[in-house]
Chain A
Amino acid sequence: NAGVTQTPKFQVLKTGQSMTLQCAQDMNHEYMSWYRQDPGMGLRLIHYSVGAGITDQGEVPNGYNVSRSTTEDFPLRLLSAAPSQTSVYFCASSYGRAPGETQYFGPGTRLLVL
C-alpha cells in the first residue's frame, strides 16, 4: 500500500491564481480530511469527508472547496489564492468511526502564495 499520497510536494502561486491539491489513499478509508499547519498553531481542520459524495466544513474552510467523487480521492481546491493561504497542507485518512482509529497523514504540500 502506498498509504496517503499528496501532490504536489511544493507549489508557488501568485495571488488570485487557483489550484488543486491532490490527495489519494489506497486503504479503502471512509474518512478523509484536510488540515493546514501554520507555525505555532498546530494543525487546523479545513474540510473533511465521511464517504464518497459527503463533505463538510472544518474549523477554517473559507477560501477552499472540496469534493469526494470516489473513496480514494479527496482534492482540495483553492479558488483564488491569497498570501494568508501560505501554509503546509496535510491530508489524512482513517477507516471510520471506531474509537481508536488512527488517522494516517500524507507527506504534505508546501504552498507559497506571493
Chain B
Amino acid sequence: ELKVEQNPLFLSMQEGKNYTIYCNYSTTSDRLYWYRQDPGKSLESLFVLLSNGAVKQEGRLMASLDTKARLSTLHITAAVHDLSATYFCAVVMTTDSWGKLQFGAGTQVVVTP
C-alpha cells in the first residue's frame, strides 16, 4: 500500500523568508505531482516530476524529486502573501500505468507580513 506523508501540515511563513515542504512516500514511484488549492477552490497543477533528480521551478516555487530517498521537496523562496494556500503532493505507484493519485494530507501555508 502506498502511503504519502507531508510535513509540516501547517506552515506559518513570514514574507521574504524561505521555507520547504517535504513529501515522503512509501513505495517505488516514478511520478510525483504538486498541486495548489486555494480555500473553497479546486486543485491547480503546479509541477510534475518524473525522474530521480528532477527539478522544476516556477516563480518562487521549486520542486525536486529524489526517488532513492522517496522524497520530494517544495521550496518556497522569499514568501509572499499570494502563496498562501494548501499544497498537496500526490504520488503514482510505478506499477500503476493509469496514474491513480495517492495524495498527502496537504500543507496549509499562511504567509504574513
Contacts and interface: CB of A to CB of B under 8 A. Distances in A.
B30 A99 contact: yes
Interface string A40-60: 111111001010000000110
B31 interface: yes
A90 B103 contact: no
A61 interface: no
B42 A42 contact: no
A31 interface: yes
Contacts, number: 62
B48 A58 contact: no
B31 A96 contact: no
A108 B38 CA distance: 13
Nearest to A97: B97
Contacts of A45: 100-102
Interface residues of A, number: 28
A20 interface: no
B98 A50 contact: yes
B97 A44 contact: no
9 contacts: A35-B101, A42-B104, A42-B105, A43-B103, A59-B102, A92-B101, A97-B98, A100-B50, A108-B41
Interface of A: 31, 33, 35, 40-45, 48, 50, 58-59, 90, 92, 94, 96-97, 99-108
